[in-house]
Amino acid sequence: MERTATGLDGPALAAGDPSAQLADVTGLPEQLRDAAWKVESASIPPFDAPGGLIVAGMGGSAIGGLLARAALGDRASRPIMVARGYELPPWATPDTAVLCCSYSGETEETLACYEAAGALGAPRIVATTGGRLADLARAEGVPIIPVAGGYQPRAAVAYMIVAALEVAALTGAAPSVRSEVDVAAAHAEELVSEWGPGGAEDCLAKSLARDLDGTVPLIAGSGITSAVAYRWKTQFNENAKMHAFAHELPELDHNEIVGWTGAQDAASFSTVFLDDQDLHPRARQRIALTRELVEPSAAVTRVVQTRGESPTERVISLVLLGDLVSVYLAVLRGVDPQPVEVIERLKARLGETR
């Protein structure tokens, strides 16, 4: 691939990001605030769902559920699960709330879950910009959380996180963390100044992008950062148009670590460990030891810490960092971060077989 950009200063970023994806990423603080307002505007009355909460969605619309569950952690008093496919889990009952998230409102898997939840008699809530999902919900009197339009679905992560957090509180699956979201938004503004386009050339986000450029990144999370590791992987896939993989500790120490034995013969691999102050002490020890063991076979190894006080604030900090790194990587690789043409081609082919 021809590399057309060598730096990450203002002119290079403007030239390498013609669709202004960085503006969407750095808009995260205001998006968090707008998302909270949009949930309020939906005026959804609280209701009890003893069976817990299922967040049904795909891709960028599903990640909010995963990240919300990570932020809530052991504060969740009922199961919170993400369903990524055409079916609800077999244990779902009429006492289980189902939040159907589809940015476009046209995601066929999520539409199938919406219909399945209705057939089951489970209470439903929808988060979308419109489409068939919104039409069905309006016709059936199902509450709709409006999501701001004009984004790539993956860039609407703030709306999907907040929707999942708020619905978890509304259904009794977890306590409200609205105050944490407010603080996270303010903290994210500070991090945008530090890591964003106007940040120093040696800031964490830009230095990480330079280190990872030309490698296949393996992102490792644990506990609260496991879902964030998966977010990094998918953002590298879609924005930077590159392979990346995610795994979690301690599980990867029981399998993936052995793959490093022959890593140098296969490709130039890098690894980033996502650390957090509240990880189990043994998990943090595993990060240090695993890094030490794979380092001889890795092009780059980095350990990145969450930033902030509350779990929500810390999850958001690494979401922002990974999103920025993914766009910076796109610029370094000379690719436009916006288009995902192969996904569109796949959807078109699937539409032909309906």
Q: What is the pLDDT of residue 139?
A: 98
- Asked whether residue 156 falls in the same domain as residue 226, the answer is no
Q: What is the pLDDT of residue 256?
A: 96
- Asked whether residue 67 falls in the same domain as residue 102, the answer is yes
Contacts of 11 (CB under 8 A, 6+ apart): none
Query: Does any domain span residue 6?
Result: no
Q: What is the pLDDT of residue 21?
A: 95
| Cα–Cα distance list, 285 to 149, 253, 273 (Å) | 43, 12, 12
- Asked whether residue 164 falls in the same domain as residue 212, the answer is no
> Which residues on neighbouring strands pair with residue 231, listed in sequence order?
none
d(CA 270, CA 255): 17
- Local structure of 201: helix, strand or coil: coil
- How many folded domains does the chain comprise? 2
- Asked whether residue 103 falls in the same domain as residue 208, the answer is no
Q: What is the pLDDT of residue 128?
A: 98
Q: What is the pLDDT of residue 5?
A: 43
- Asked whether residue 238 falls in the same domain as residue 289, the answer is yes
Which residues span the domain enclosing 142?
Answer: 42-176
Please check whether residue 133 is in contact with residue 100, taking contact to mean a CB–CB distance below 8 angstroms.
yes
Query: Does any domain span residue 236?
Result: yes
Please check whether residue 98 is in contact with residue 204, taking contact to mean a CB–CB distance below 8 angstroms.
no
Query: Does any domain span residue 341?
Result: no
Please check whether residue 304 is in contact with residue 195, taking contact to mean a CB–CB distance below 8 angstroms.
no
d(CA 135, CA 104): 12
- Asked whether residue 153 falls in the same domain as residue 239, the answer is no
Please check whether residue 304 is in contact with residue 273, taking contact to mean a CB–CB distance below 8 angstroms.
yes
Query: Does any domain span residue 229?
Result: yes
Query: Does any domain span residue 352?
Result: no
Q: What is the pLDDT of residue 265?
A: 80
CATH code of the domain containing 88: 3.40.50.10490
- The single-letter DSSP state of residue 217 is E
Query: Does any domain span residue 240?
Result: yes
pLDDT per residue rounded down to tens, the chain (354 residues): 444 445 899 899 999 999 999 999 999 999 999 999 999 999 999 999 999 999 999 999 999 999 999 999 999 999 999 999 999 999 999 999 999 999 999 999 999 999 999 999 999 999 999 999 999 999 999 999 999 999 999 999 999 999 999 999 999 999 999 999 999 999 999 999 999 999 999 999 999 999 999 999 999 999 999 999 999 999 999 999 999 999 999 999 999 999 999 887 888 999 999 999 999 999 999 999 999 999 999 999 999 999 999 999 999 999 999 999 999 999 999 999 998 999 999 988 988 887
- Asked whether residue 71 falls in the same domain as residue 155, the answer is yes
Q: What is the pLDDT of residue 6?
A: 57
> Would you tell me how many other CB atoms lie within 10 Å of the CB of residue 211?
17
Please check whether residue 77 is in contact with residue 174, taking contact to mean a CB–CB distance below 8 angstroms.
yes
Between β-strands 216-221 and 53-56, what pairing exists: parallel, antiparallel or unpaired? Answer: unpaired
d(CA 196, CA 293): 32
* Positions marked active-site: 238, 254, 347
Please confirm whether the linkage preceding 250 is cis (ω < 30° from 0).
Answer: yes
List, in sequence order, the alpha helices (H) in the chain.
10-16, 21-26, 28-41, 63-72, 108-120, 131-140, 157-170, 178-195, 204-212, 226-239, 256-259, 263-266, 281-294, 311-333, 341-352
d(CA 202, CA 194): 10
- The single-letter DSSP state of residue 7 is -
d(CA 293, CA 162): 38
